[in-house]
Structures are given as C-alpha cells and as structure tokens.
Structure 1
Amino acid sequence: MNVSGMKVLVVEDEGLVALMIEDMLEDLGFDVVASVSRLADARTIVADAAVDLAVLDVNLAGESSFSIAEILRKRQIPFIFSTGYGLSGLPDEFAHQPLIGKPFSKKDLQETIEAALKL
C-alpha cells in the first residue's frame, strides 16, 4: 500500500504518545499535517482540513472524540481510534471502526491503518 504523501491528523492528549504516533506515521511514509490535544481544536481542524486519515484518541482529557469521528465520517475521511482503556466500549455506531490499543507498535499501527483504508 502506497501511503507516501497521505495527510494525517493526530488527535491525542498525551504529549509523548502524540510524538510517538507522529514518528511512527512519518516512518511509515505519512505526512502529519496537524497534531492536536484538545477536542475544540480537533473540531475546528476536521471541519474543513485537507486530510486523508485521522488517528483519534478515544478519551481526550475526559471528553470522547466521537464527535470528531462523526465529522470525519460525514466527510468520508477514514480514521482509527486509539485507546488505553481496552478494546471495548465503543458505541454501536463505531463498533466496526478500526481500533488500536495502547501501547502499540509501528507494525500494529500500520495494520490498523490498512484496515481503515480498506473500509
């Protein structure tokens, strides 16, 4: 799968985790166009940003990222969820969305993204 130049948005509230995800994405050939830690900032960006994919932390400082996922779905932009709280707990509307549990490897991230891009 050729991902060179694909633009990715990272939504993650833990700074070190965000940096790790950004590094992994860049190693895989993606272009990280934005990395945000707050729900309001993410909402602003996803409303009209030119992105090809998003990596969404499920829990952003106590708020869920599901409203961001809704916007991405409406814009037909693929996304994956990441979570440190186990692989259950997604609402029914996102039950089939690719999900990766933290901590994860670059290989895990790549496989989860490939699943999202095939949906």
Structure 2
Amino acid sequence: MKDIFIVEDDTLIAMLLEDMLADLGYRVCASAPDLERALTAARDTEFDAAILDVSLAGQSSLPVAKLLDERGKPYLYATGYGTPPDGSRPSTLPVLQKPFQLSELEQAMKRLTEA
C-alpha cells in the first residue's frame, strides 16, 4: 500500500480525497491545511507521493513542490484554477482539475506512483 501526503486547505475536500484514495488502495499518512504545516510534513514525513492543492488560503503551494523535488518525491497538483503555479515543473506532472471523478484520480495516481 502506497502512503500519500495531502496538502489541501478545504477540510471537506481533504476528507473526500482521503476516502477516494482509500477506495483505490492508498493510505493517507499525513495531511496539511496550510503552507507552514505542509512544509513541515513534507520535510519530516515519509510517504510515497503527494497531492498538492495549488492555492492554500491564497498562498501558493510552490514552496512545498520545490521541497518535494529536492527530496525526490513525486506529486501532482489538484486545482480549480486550471494550471499549476508559475515556477513549477513543466507538464510532466499530472494535474487534476477540481472537481474530479474517482476514475480521474485513479489514472493520475497510477501515473504518479508508477513513474
């Protein structure tokens, strides 16, 4: 079972995402609702992959993405804004457009964890 780290500022979306991931056979090992806690968890937690909301209460999740890049951890963006933040890695990253279906999450997670 793969361990997943979620960065999402909307509690209901984070809970839904955790349920969806469990249905797909993944385990959420950490979740962070804001940039400060996300950076701490990204640095101190062991996980296989991460899902990042693009905007955390108006703050970009890009610093978390850069830390994950440094650690060699794969991640994807989940966004209602259409694109990852400026300065992020190019289109090699899966991007989930909110709202998304279970099948879309499944495809993105397979791509992410099998890369």
Pick the aligned partner of 2:27 from 28, 31, 40: 31
How far apart in 2 are the matches of 1:7 and 1:89? 23
Pick the aligned partner of 2:100 from 96, 101, 104: 104
1:55-81 deviation line (CA, Å, top 9, x unaligned): 000000000101101111111111010
How far apart in 2 are the matches of 1:115 and 1:28? 13
Aligned length: 114
- Which residue identity lines up with residue 37 of structure 1 in the other structure? P
Q: How does 1:16-27 map to 2 (within 5 A)?
A: 16-27=12-23
How far apart in 1 are the matches of 2:22 and 2:114? 20
Question: 1:44 maps to which residue?
Answer: 40
How far apart in 1 are the matches of 2:69 and 2:84? 19
- 1:35 Cα deviation from its structure 2 partner: 1.4
Pick the aligned partner of 1:65 from 61, 68, 71: 61
How far apart in 2 are the matches of 1:15 and 1:90? 21
The percent of aligned pairs where both chains have the same amino acid is: 37
Question: 2:89 maps to which residue?
Answer: 94
Question: 2:51 maps to which residue?
Answer: 55
How far apart in 2 are the matches of 1:42 and 1:79? 13
Counterpart of 1:94 in 2: which secondary structure?
A: coil
How far apart in 2 are the matches of 1:79 and 1:92? 15
- Does 1:9 pair with 2:1? no
How far apart in 2 are the matches of 1:80 and 1:89? 9
CA RMSD in angstroms, aligned pairs only: 1.3
- Which residue identity lines up with residue 109 of structure 1 in the other structure? L
Structure 1 moving runs of 4+ over 6 Å = none
Contact 2:48 2:73 in 1 (8 A): yes
List runs of 5+ in structure 2 lacking aligned partners. none
- 1:89 Cα deviation from its structure 2 partner: 5.0
